[in-house]
Amino acid sequence: MNANFFNQIAQMEITGDLHLIISKGVDNTLIVTTQLNNEHCGDDAKHTIVPLNLKGTAEELDEGYFERITAPIEKASGLMVNMEAFLKQLEEAQKQSAMEKEKADKERREKEARDKKYKEAMTKADELEIEGKHREAWMKVPDPTEYPEHAEAIRKRKSQLSDKFASPSLFGQAE
């Protein structure tokens, strides 16, 4: 006997394990249950794919078994491969999203820290100005290159302070 059963299985484009259950029916018929199982597919939806059941005589199954199962089994295989690829992409997207969120949070924290440092320096300059220590206040105003977003306000503040300590005193001398 020379059958090409396994050659035909090898030619099928499937990923996974092909499970066959062959049972004897009534009146010399056979019932062949064929199911594809792909353990690499992590989606539980694969369990909803029902097995393919064919019933017929041995001669009928010899003639049409592979014609009947090839397309549905290959389609099921493709579906499971796609489900697994989808799950992997989804997981990767979640990682990317977490990374982007972490990056945005870090940038926000850094900006808040810079803004806090800027405000503290400006507050200290205001306190020193109130005490009449204009030179010290001028020195406490931050460098505009460190805070380019506040550069104009910093230059204006430094100019105001420098005008106060560079102005002549009551006796005509600079302070």
Query: Rounded CA gap, 36 and 27, in Å?
Result: 28
From the CB of residue 50, how many other CB atoms can be counted at a distance below 10 Å? 9
Bridge partners of residue 56, in order along the sequence: 30
Query: pTM for this structure?
Result: 0.51
Helical residues (DSSP H) of 2-57, grouped into ranges: 5-11
> Model confidence over 38-96: pLDDT tens digits?
988 888 888 889 999 999 999 999 999 999 999 999 999 999 899 889 989 988 888 88
